[in-house]
Amino acid sequence: MAAGDLENQAELEEKTRLINQVLELQHTLEDLSARVDAVKEENLKLKSENQVLGQYIENLMSASSVFQTTDTKSKQKGQCCFV
């Protein structure tokens, strides 16, 4: 082989290596983008569930006499609102 052929072969191998590296990085980016989308979707789902649970807890607290405020007379007598 001539020196020019060896140089061309090395250049071709380098280009092939770089192309493969770019393709691998593209696949990694696609995987990461898909993962970000999945996490965003899960986050929205959890936010919605948290709102429902928060409203449920708020409703339970408002329905329970334990969490109701007492009038000023019972506070003056030293009674706590958590009777």
Q: What is the phi-psi region of residue 78: left when phi exceeds 0, alpha when psi lies from -120 to 50, beta otherwise?
A: left
Mean pLDDT value across the chain: 86
Question: So where are the chain's domains?
Answer: 19-49
Whole-number Å distance between alpha carbons of 72 and 69: 9
pLDDT for residue 70: 63
| 72 in Cβ contact with 56 (< 8 Å) | no
3-state secondary structure of 8: helix
pLDDT tens digit string along 43-83?
999 999 999 999 999 999 998 888 776 655 555 555 555 54
Higher pLDDT, 43 or 1: 43
Whole-number Å distance between alpha carbons of 25 and 37: 18
pLDDT for residue 18: 98
pLDDT for residue 83: 43
pLDDT for residue 34: 98
Whole-number Å distance between alpha carbons of 24 and 17: 11
